[in-house]
Amino acid sequence: MAADPQSSPFIKHLASSDKDIRDQALTSLRTFLSGRSEISDLDLLKLWKGLFYCLWMQDKPALQQRLALDLASLPSMLQTPVVLPFLRAFWLTIAREWQQIEALRMDKYLFLIRHYVNASFKYLARKNWEDEVVEEYMQILEETPLNPVDMKIPNGLRYHVLDVYVDELEKVESVWEGKGGALERVLEPVRKLAKEGKLKVLRVAAKECLGDERLKAWRGGKGER
């Protein structure tokens, strides 16, 4: 039986200063993850701390983007019971570590976040936008990156998720005929932030997201519901 992430050497190796060691650790992690149908929330958080620093240690923009894309591909290889807990651990880790990301490193994390928004929508599409799955993931978004009231959540994270939300949704599903209910559920965390956001600037940003002309087109020319 494979060892738990907290006791596996590859977790600490993800944050190694040696690229070859990081690459080997990521390969080992892929094998480990694909074989697991259950991983504890604590172990997922520890795993994501290692992945966060794996990207932290990567220099050179081209290699950073390649690594970010590799990390964003992880949900597609996970067994179903692990996907949403894995995504939740991702958002919690990004929110927790956000304040220490200096300007020179921010771009690679913004790139990673964009592709995780996309990866999340791809997962929901693979599940045919099932009500229960969509609802559970929307609760994850409301809990962390789009939380309307918890000011411990970095506003920069909120703004970036709002900024890429419709773009990444369009890449995954640009035709919503017959799936209007799913579209409205996917927009609910944004709608809640627009109504309940503690800061006016957050409410305004969420309303701008909801006012995107593509959403109107997807509703058959109708505006916000």
Amino acid at 61: P
Exposure string for 25-46, b = 16+ CB within 10 A, e = fewer: bbebbeebbeeeeebeeebbbb
CA distance 122 to 127: 9
Specify the pTM: 0.94
Per-residue pLDDT of the chain in tens (225 residues, 90 and over written 9): 344 544 466 788 999 999 999 999 999 999 999 999 999 999 999 999 999 999 999 999 999 999 999 999 999 999 999 999 999 999 999 999 999 999 999 999 999 999 999 999 999 999 999 999 999 999 999 999 999 999 999 999 999 999 999 999 999 999 999 999 999 999 999 999 999 999 999 999 999 999 999 999 999 876 665
